[in-house]
A and B are shown apart, each in its own frame.
Chain A
Amino acid sequence: MKDEGKKQIWKDYQKDIADDHYYYVRSCIRQSFFPASEEFFLRLLKDDLGKDVFDDPNHTTCTGIGYHSDIVSFETIMTVVARHFSMMKESGYKNIIISCVTSFGIYTEIIETWKHFPEVLAKTRENLFKATGREFDIPENMAHASDIIYKFKDEIAQKAKYRLVNPITGKPLNIVEHIGCHYSKMFPKYGVGGAEFPEVLAGMIDAWGGKVIDYPERRHCCGFGFRQYLVQANRGYSIANSKKKFDSMEPYKPDLILANCPGCTMFMDKWQYTISEMEGKTYGENQQGIPVLTYEELAGLVMGYNPWDLGLQYHQIQSEPLLHKLGIEFSIEDKYKTRDGRQMPIPECPANINY
């Protein structure tokens, strides 16, 4: 499809994203695997964009990984989510930002269910009150954290120190974007750009000067599959799906994979290592792997944040080749230092990835 056609579809799937005063709920996977992404996100909103955002210590997991692996019932997860809404109300907020794509999908599923089945909403109110004495309101505005970065992508571009352009060649970087399935495959209207042509990440890449690369398996699942990864015996499913994507994108020579789901980011990073161990096959230029970044990490890089404060050293696929391509200056000595400057052990290099 020509660009003009896609842009028309994107126009049909725009969503309202609140401008300020947000209640933030963290992600189990993002805070465990990419804690610096969540910290950067809050810092960006508060310090760089001057927004009001509340990081409530009292919210918990939404239980979403348990729900989609079928050990947590719909009734239970609806009540856990209702508790989050109750705390949001208690704190005086009406706009929610959700860090996790699995959670985001669950929140959309629950809100749509409540719309169509008012008796289920009434039962959830009853359950929550019985369990905790709490009451709740449904958020007025609900955004995934990537929606927020998308909304402020032009402000970020204005403040940017770097563009997604190789300063030596003058060419934009080739960037593959991967949207987590639960962002909009269930309810396209909740995603910027819908399900077939989501714009949420492509819009950031465009605004920051990169080139979005299309490839045949662009919308294929990363392969997490919940129980298909959680149980060791099933992980062949998970890695096979990621491999299908890597094989499909490889001919287009991507410099970077950008993802909005923390699980997808982690799997697409780690499975490249596992494939290199299993098959001796390493993707990317010079057998260095294809770096996989969160949208917070990419925003942080273009704004000139220290890559090691953003946590890029804790990806299995290392990012130095990418930093060189972007002309980003960094200190290699600082890479594995503690906050107070002590040298930490250096992680072991994988046998088949060229560091």
Chain B
Amino acid sequence: MGKLYDLLLQDIRFEEGLNACMNCGVCTAICPAAEFYKYDPREIVDTIQTKDEEKTEALLKSETIWYCGQCMSCKTRCPRGNTPALVIMALRTLSQKLGYFTDSEKGRQQFAIKRTVGENILKYGYCVPTYAVDPKMHPEQGPIWEHIFNNIDDVMDRLGGNLKKKGSGALREIHQKNLDELDKIFEVTGGYKLYGEIENYSEKKAGEMGLEFKKEGIDNEYFRHVYTCNSDNHGK
């Protein structure tokens, strides 16, 4: 048994997600990602089942593991009760711990997610508050979103929100004592360690790629690169 397989076994989602796969391919048949990308969850599970160290390492460094959309449709349909999407989560977690994620275009995007959603969680207490969904980064949200974004106080007030104010309600200000508890939870459970790993490996990769990297924020070449780069070599 390979060492990487041992590391995967430490993730409870891996234990839950993979019993014995009989390679029927139902997961691939139902998978939205398999329809869009060069992606085959059956193949991934098959590779993992070989426990082959080299093949597993190649997978951890590949584009493939980042294609899943986490819809969990595979869980409903697998006749053996496997969940390839949970196996994917264990692979992605390990890929980040070992720094392999920066070897792939799709893996490098983890830096962009950490700098946006990851920062929002600890700064605001929300993953995607209205004021952090900038139309410049989300042109697909259309003119109505631009209108909401530009008139956020009046819109939230009309719709019964409690924007950045004390008390309960939609988009209320999250009190500092609650943010402090979140902070402590991240500290105790390794949340900051994971953020640190994403940051450190990304900084190293930015150096290798000759792209500007800043310790904070999204105004730097590396962020813009990973957020927008699409080699268009992922589809079928």
Contact = CB atoms under 8 A, between A and B. Distances in A.
Contact of A186 (B75, B128, B155): B75
A250 B103 CA distance: 42
B52 interface: no
Contact of A74 (B13, B147, B154): B13
A6 to B, nearest CB: 16
Interface string A325-355: 0000000000001110010110111100000
Given A237-B69, A315-B144, A347-B143, A223 B181 contact: no
Contact of B73 (A64, A128, A181): A181
B71 A71 contact: no
A36 B186 contact: no
Nearest to A272: B142
B222 interface: no
Contact of B127 (A61, A116, A244): A61
B189 A64 contact: no
Contacts of B118: 66, 71-72
A76 interface: yes
A152 B58 CA distance: 52
Interface string B108-147: 0110111011100100011111100100010011111111
A70 B157 contact: no
A16 to B, nearest CB: 22
A206 B151 CA distance: 37
Contact of A240 (B36, B109, B161, B175): B36
A182 interface: yes
Contacts of B150: 345
Contact of B117 (A26, A71, A223, A239): A71
Contacts of A141: none
A65 B128 contact: yes
A57 B168 CA distance: 4
Contact of B190 (A73, A182, A196): A73
Interface in B169-228: 169-172, 174-175, 178-179, 181-182, 184-191, 194-195, 198, 226-228
Interface in A1-57: 26, 28-29, 31-33, 35-36, 38-40, 55-57
B178 to A, nearest CB: 5
A292 to B, nearest CB: 12
A211 interface: no
B25 interface: no
A120 B194 CA distance: 19
Given A60-B182, A185-B72, A36 B160 contact: yes
Given A35-B156, A233-B230, A350 B142 contact: yes
Given A185-B76, A237-B36, A72 B144 contact: no
Tell me which of B69, B129, B143 has the highest count of chain A C-beta atoms within 10 A of its own C-beta.
B69
Contacts of A230: 112-113, 116-117
Given A69-B113, A350-B142, A31 B121 contact: no
B225 to A, nearest CB: 10
Given A221-B32, A225-B69, A233-B228, 7 more contacts: A57-B172, A131-B187, A185-B75, A241-B69, A338-B157, A344-B154, A348-B146
23 contacts: A28-B129, A60-B178, A65-B127, A68-B70, A73-B189, A74-B13, A116-B16, A131-B184, A219-B73, A220-B32, A221-B69, A221-B73, A227-B109, A227-B110, A231-B109, A270-B145, A271-B140, A314-B155, A344-B151, A345-B147, A347-B144, A347-B147, A350-B143
Q: Which 3 A-B pairs have the closest CB atoms?
A: A225-B69, A39-B160, A35-B170
